[in-house]
Every structure is written in structure tokens, then in C-alpha cells.
Structure 1
């Protein structure tokens, strides 16, 4: 468990965080550090609290205990106005894409800029074209979510997450429901965000091929003890973690005959 002082390249950190919904404990004792320009994975089985931890990181759930810092600033001790300003540094890709069905793809991507900036319409249009071009959806600007595939909706959601040029991106199960080829293409986009734009990325996932391919480090949450039981990259957890639950999770596809690296 991380216990060393934060380094200058630490962008997000948690110390002894407890998450709960009323009397229902979700996770306790969460401590982690996320380096600038890294891809950090939140791992674990179903019901362990992965998405709940992500919700806390983006300001939707206040911890019962503990401290959450963004570049050394205590997020929950800040004023509401300051928290809102910090949130503008975040981009979020929700599991379903969460696009407005009554709006075109271009309108979906434009919405954050229209609501949170004073950019003129012509500039917004140029930015929408730029974001959609980055995710390979230049020709989908006038289409509605119902007119494109699931993989394209994920990429459209990613374009919207990039609308305000955030330096921290949060992805909730980005590969869920996608075929292996489409999932691999999305992984490529995520790697491009890190390598090309220098983005810091937090990803919730149980998809082993994606985790092994893109994640630099991570945390493993246990549903039974309701605590984190391992920290490290997916490869480190697979090859060196002695906990049988972690080992079983990280090797399950290999045991099923797949070629996980």
C-alpha cells in the first residue's frame, strides 16, 4: 500500500479513504498514488466497488473518511466553486457512452463547450470537428446515437470527454460489450491519449487483454474484505502477487486457453 510522501509527478492521491452508501460499507483503507501521464487501473471482481471508487474520484461521492488530493490540493476541503474548477480538468467516459439520444453526435460533443465556456459558435464547431477527427468519427457529426454502432458510441463518448481538453480522464468499463477488434482499437485510442497528449487516465475494467496492454499500474479491490488487497501493474499482480484471489483473477483467461501476455 502506498505510504511514501507524494512525488512532484503525483497528480491524484488517496489516503485511508472509506466509501459507503449510508450504513453499507463499500471499501475502506483505500490509499493510492496516480502519476501524471500514466494509465491507472482499478481492478477486481463484480461488486467490489470499482465504479464507486471512480464516482468518488470525479466528485460524485464524498468519502466517509480519508483524504483525496488533486495535485496536492484537498478536493473535499475546497469550496464548491473550487471543486467545480477542478472538475473542469476531468473528462469522463461512462460505461454506456451516456450520449443524449435526441442530439446528434456533434451536438453531444459541443454541449460541454457550450455550457462551460464562452467560445463562439464557430470555434465550438471547429473544436467538435477536431475531437471527432481524433477518435475517427469525422463523418458522424450529423448522425444520432441510434444510427451508429456500439463501438462508435464509445468513441463519441470519448470525444465528448475530450471536449474541454482535460488533463485527467476517467473511463468506466470502456471495453464492455465490444468485440475484440473494436476493443483493441479503443485501447489504441487510449494509448494515443497518454502518449500523444500526455493525459493521465484512470480506467475501471475487468477486461484482461485491455488491462495487460494499456495499464501502467493499478489497485485491486476485494469484495469480501472490502479493502484493497494488491497494488501494481497487471503483469506484476499476475506474476508476483501471492494472494490466491488476485492470482485467479489475473490468470483466468490464460487458464481458459487464451493468449493473455
Structure 2
């Protein structure tokens, strides 16, 4: 029996680079079972790059990503593929194949990675689409549905193989506040109903405060994480200027000279 506090993924001293350009370094955190973990920070700090490395799309230049005690990037290709079966990923915009119907998009991983019959796959596709409120759109093409519906269809595809861990890259980007709130509710219901563990990359503060219970804050200037904790705790308690500006949506961050001047007023 697995503990609710079981560590599913441990990231240790990770460095991510494109050639000589360092994106992030000294990144370390643990992903606990049942948590919704937020990767936070301003534009260009490397949030999506970190996500791509964890899911196996970008090899880090240093450090380790331990999945269930295995060093992911030290494994042969076939073992990494097996580990990836534990993952479900919702990319920005849903990333649906435009030439395939919603149902065909959701069926694709089931056709590729299972030996289920066509009838069994159709039944599962209807079930997964039903979980996200999209069963009515099974025969529609992506261009026939809204952006929010594309996100939900992408989510149905992400949970098709019943993964342990879900990764969401900017799930609320481009959505109106009402649709975004509905997606937040859906993410919470998946965590509670399916027991999924979730990693979410986002700069959408209302969503982060609503759903995330742990997280890491990446800084674009130092190329390092500068704090850990839930978004709510960072909003209420963190005094680091960069984090405060992000959490309170300040227009500017005081310089060190300005901060010292304020302390003497």
C-alpha cells in the first residue's frame, strides 16, 4: 500500500541549457503523490523547459530526475518509454491533431499502446470524454469546437491510459475567466476522483491559488529557483521582491538601492 506522502519524482540539482545559454540550474524538488505542484515564475524563466525535461523531451545538461527510484535519463530508451507510460501531458492549446475527430484523438494512445479491441477503445473514449464533459463532441473536429473545449479534449487524451502523473503546460492560457475556472474545477476533480498527481506550469495567479498545494518559483535573472511552497503561502508570507511582484502583480520590482532607501525612511 502506497503512502499518500510517497515521493513519485525527485529532481536533484538539475541544469537545463541550450548550448552555452543556461536556462535554469540547481533545480531540486520532490513531487508527492496526490499533490498539485505548480511551476511558477515570469515569462522566459524556463517553466515549460523544465516540464519538457521531466517528461522526457529535453535531456538536462546536469543533475538527476528520479522516477520511482530510477534515474530517468540514465535508463535505456525502452525503459524511458515504459516510465513515460505513467505520464499524461496536456500541452498548450490542447495539441489535437486537426485531421482527426475529438474521439480519434483520444483513441490514439489506446490504439498505440494497448491491445484493446475497437469496441473496447470506443467505450473507453466515451468514458474519458464523459469525465471532462465532452462526450457530445466525439465526432467533431478540433476546428469545430472552442479553445476551452480543445483543452478539455486534450485532457481526455492525457488521461486515456490512466497515468499516475499529469503534466499541464499553461492549461488556462487564452481562456476567459469563466472557462478557466471550470477547467480548474475539472483538474481538482481529476485529482480527487482519479487519485492523479499533477504538475502544472502556469503564470495564471487565480488558477494557481485555487488548485496548487505545493510549488517552486523559478527566476529568469539568476537562472535558479528562489523559493518553494504553495502559491497561497507565497502570497501571504514571502518577502522576496521578485516573488512578491509576481504574486501581487506589481508592475515593477524595487532595485536594491530603492529597497535600502525605503528602509531608512
Normalised by the shorter chain, which TM-score bucket? over 0.9
Match for residue 206 of structure 1? 203
Match for residue 46 of structure 1? 43
Q: Does residue 235 in structure 1 map to residue 224 in structure 2? A: no
Residue 64 of structure 2 aligns to a residue whose secondary structure is: strand
Deviation at 1:238, TM superposition (A): 1.3
Gaps of 5+ in 2: 251-265
Match for residue 146 of structure 2? 149
- 2 CA distance for matches of 1:22 and 1:119? 43
Number of matched pairs: 249
Q: Which runs of 4+ in 1 moved over 4 A?
A: none
Q: Does residue 117 in structure 1 map to residue 114 in structure 2? A: yes
- 1 CA distance for matches of 2:189 and 2:226? 30
Q: What TM-score do the two structures reach when normalised by structure 1?
A: 0.93
- 2 CA distance for matches of 1:35 and 1:64? 25
Match for residue 256 of structure 1? none
Residue 68 of structure 1 aligns to a residue whose secondary structure is: strand
Equivalent positions of 1:150-229 (< 5 A) are 150-229=147-226
Name which of 8, 12, 16 aligns with 1:15: 12
Residue 224 of structure 1 aligns to a residue whose secondary structure is: coil
Deviation at 1:8, TM superposition (A): 6.1
Deviation at 1:70, TM superposition (A): 0.8
- 2 CA distance for matches of 1:96 and 1:55? 16
Deviates further, 81-90 or 234-243: 234-243
Deviates further, 92-101 or 69-78: 69-78
Match for residue 254 of structure 2? none
Q: Does residue 133 in structure 1 map to residue 130 in structure 2? A: yes
Structure exhibiting the larger radius of gyration computed from Cα positions: 2
CA deviation map 1:99-149 (0-9, x unaligned): 000100000000011111111111000000000000001110000000001
Deviation at 1:73, TM superposition (A): 1.3
Root-mean-square deviation (Å): 1.5
Gaps of 5+ in 1: 1-6, 254-261
Contact persistence 2:5–2:33 (CA under 8 A): no
CA deviation map 1:35-70 (0-9, x unaligned): 001000000000000000000010011111111011
